Amino acid sequence: MRIIPSILAAVFVLSISTLVQAKEPFSAMDVFKIAYAGDTVVSPDGQMIAFSRYYMDVMTDSRKSDLWLIDADGDNIRQITKDFDAVGSAAFTPSGDAVAFMAVKDEKSHIYLQNLKSEKRTELGQDLTEPGNLSFSPDGKWLAFTMPVTYKPETMGEMPAAPDGAKWAEPIIVETRDMYRADGVGYLPFSSHQVFLIPTKGGAAQQLTQGQQDNNSPLTWLPDASALLMSINIKNNVNKPMDTDIVRLDLKTRQFTALTTQLGQDLAPQISPDGKRIAWVGKKYAPGMAHLFSNQLYTAKLDGSDAQKLTSGRDFGVKNFAWHQDNQRIYIQYEERGKEVLALLAQDGTVSKLSDELSGWELDQPYVMGQFSASAGVAAFTQGNSTTPTELAVVNSLDKVKVLTDLNRSLHKSVQFSTAQEYSVKSSFDKREIQYWVMLPPDFDPKKSYPMMLQIHGGPWAAYGPQFAANNQLYAAAGYVVVYGNPRGSTGYGEEFAEIIDNNYPSQDYDDLMDIVDSTLKMGFIDEDKLFVTGGSGGGVLTAWIVGKTDRFRAAVVVNPVINWSSHLLIGDSNKLFVNNWFADLPWNDPMKYWSHSPLSLVGNVTTPTMLMTGEEDWRTPISEAEQYFSALQVKGVDTALVRVPGASHWIEARPSQLIAKVNAILAWFERHSKPADASAG
């Protein structure tokens, strides 16, 4: 009798083993099966969480989303919207009995108010255009939001009237704006975001602000509903586009009053639950770019007086925050060694970590990112790791973490994902610790030798970590050992580590990356004759720099790079920010500084077969940068190709098929050059 359970157990174990063995490596079409959570919002009483469920629509080749609700204990999950083209994040009414959200259908924008008890849905306002930053008044009677409003551009000369029936060219356009083009948009319309109010019981929207000042900012109501707090560039200094201040918009006078005045960025004001203090993140201006990624947390009285910095002595930047219900502690989000951390900051500066598994939703690359929301002692956040696309998790009043969703259950049942394993190496340049990760092919055998792909992150003030990345999963499934890390300049390792490449990029970050490669080779399972390298944006810069410094890689793919700093800093969409902060002086004052850090300066050394790839509508690192390098490599006789991605911006993998096409092109280029040059010639 006792033998039967043992037999059953053995059969069960065998069945589980068979299921594991039946899993297939991640494939291109699996990209369309991915779903992930984002835009979490906790209700005022902490009982419910609204979130967006993003998914891939294979028929329209797009990422779509719907609004969902779930109880904070994980029960009663329900879908709120369906069949919209896009849905914005939700805003709960103060009573928590309804949510407002923006939705787009057939290129028309709407604001809806969804009653959560009766399930009745009403539309607020009409003929709206891209409304955002929804925020309810404390009594729930008004909804504030921002929306772009067009204005007439400047003209230059008068044209005669065209004859009836004549077909003349489009009229000329005169630009005097400091920013007239943006990545993902192209040439900007002549409009500026203004603040509106609309009654929640119905009625016309009232425009509170006027003019060409752009007021695109999250909105926070004062407790007495007399004013809104915002963060805008009220000084309008063309050379300091990130110099924002916390301002008060009086609803009666409709006038702005600045509550902060320091040179630098002050962002995202929030009012404490007891209505006595404001908190915000900001950083006093300093030369260079790295300081933009290390915001500190401040609080002050409602009028801006008694300002205090709560993160003094802490060597991390605060990305996001929310007041705790006790009015003393504050939830904060920050990076630390390849992880995105959610923690509680006490008044005495003590930091208590709640989770280091905050995860983002870029999906194609393992950038350290994530998002959270908190109210009434409950914090909801996006959670994931290297094998799990982002789910929804919650931290309750006892600081216990619980994952609430399982959006990729079927994918996990059928697919064998590769895990990112953490390592570190001492820099050969100055002995700094450099953190990196290795992903092995699903059928990895330590007795075999594998080709290695070095994957370099962009930024350069950003970081990779053990987060889900569809491209790396596809590379590993194709048989590559995928290696990526955080060289100097990466965020999450303290201010000094990030700032060391200010005015000095690329430089010793090259040495750090080579140390990562050498450390991986010592593991003994890499074919040293099959080393490949790729990276995008800042990673594209470093990839182009690498092939100008060494010929150890069999082939390279440079994705949306900067090749010539002088040309890029004056033509990219963030040109005023770049040209005033990237190097210590302007390009016409110190041209050799710009040239000495430009990959184009090393093109004469390149022998590595190098492919370029850029979106045709990329205005962050315009395609003219890649074209310069492509032409130079052709002139030199280096094996090269230029891949143009039609319709793509700097986010080159915005559509699922673009992600697949990018990966397939990189794998094909590497496969073409996987054999010794004399064997693959022709």
Helix axes 656-672, 470-477, angle to 10 degrees: 40
CA distance 436 to 424: 6
* Helices H / strands E in the chain, number of each: 12, 41
Query: How large is the average pLDDT for residues 165-171?
Result: 95
Residue 8: what pLDDT?
Answer: 32
Lowest mean pLDDT of 73-77, 271-275, 310-314, name the range. Answer: 310-314
Please report which confidence band the pLDDT of residue 581 belongs to, taking 50, 70 and 90 as the band edges: confident
Question: Percent of the chain beyond pLDDT 70?
Answer: 96
Residues 369-425 have pLDDT tens digits of 999 999 999 999 999 999 999 999 999 877 889 999 999 999 999 999 999 999 999
CB proximity list for 448: less than 8 A, separation 6 or greater: 525
Q: Which residues pair with 66 in a beta bridge?
A: 53
Residues 431-451 have pLDDT tens digits of 999 999 999 999 999 999 999
pLDDT of 501 above 60 = yes
- Measured CA to CA in angstroms, residue 436 lies from 32, 269, 394, 519 at distances of 29, 35, 29, 10
CA distance 628 to 625: 5
Residues 220-237 have pLDDT tens digits of 999 999 999 999 999 888
pLDDT of 15 above 50 = no
Residue 552: what pLDDT?
Answer: 97
Average per-residue pLDDT for the chain: 93
Please report which confidence band the pLDDT of residue 677 belongs to, taking 50, 70 and 90 as the band edges: low
Residues 638-652 have pLDDT tens digits of 999 999 999 999 999
Query: How large is the average pLDDT for residues 15-24?
Result: 55
Lookup result for tokens 């906790």: 42
Residue 21: what pLDDT?
Answer: 52
Query: How large is the average pLDDT for residues 421-430?
Result: 97
pLDDT of 16 above 80 = no
Residue 6: what pLDDT?
Answer: 35
Query: How large is the average pLDDT for residues 244-248?
Result: 96
The answer to whether residues 251 and 208 touch, using CB atoms and an 8 Å cutoff, is yes
Please report which confidence band the pLDDT of residue 293 belongs to, taking 50, 70 and 90 as the band edges: confident
Query: How large is the average pLDDT for residues 147-158?
Result: 95
Closest-CA residue to 29 (of 67, 53, 56, 64): 56
Lookup result for tokens 């690329």: 506
pLDDT of 97 above 60 = yes
CB-CB neighbours of 202 under 10 Å: 11
Question: Percent of the chain beyond pLDDT 90?
Answer: 86
Model pTM above 0.85: yes
Residues 178-230 have pLDDT tens digits of 999 999 999 999 999 999 999 999 899 999 999 999 999 999 999 999 999 99
Chain centroid, CA 233 distance in Å: 22
Peptide bond into 269 cis (omega under 30): no
Query: How large is the average pLDDT for residues 324-338?
Result: 96
Residue 288: what pLDDT?
Answer: 84
The answer to whether residues 321 and 299 touch, using CB atoms and an 8 Å cutoff, is no
682 vs 40, higher pLDDT: 40
Residue 419: what pLDDT?
Answer: 97
Query: How large is the average pLDDT for residues 239-267?
Result: 93
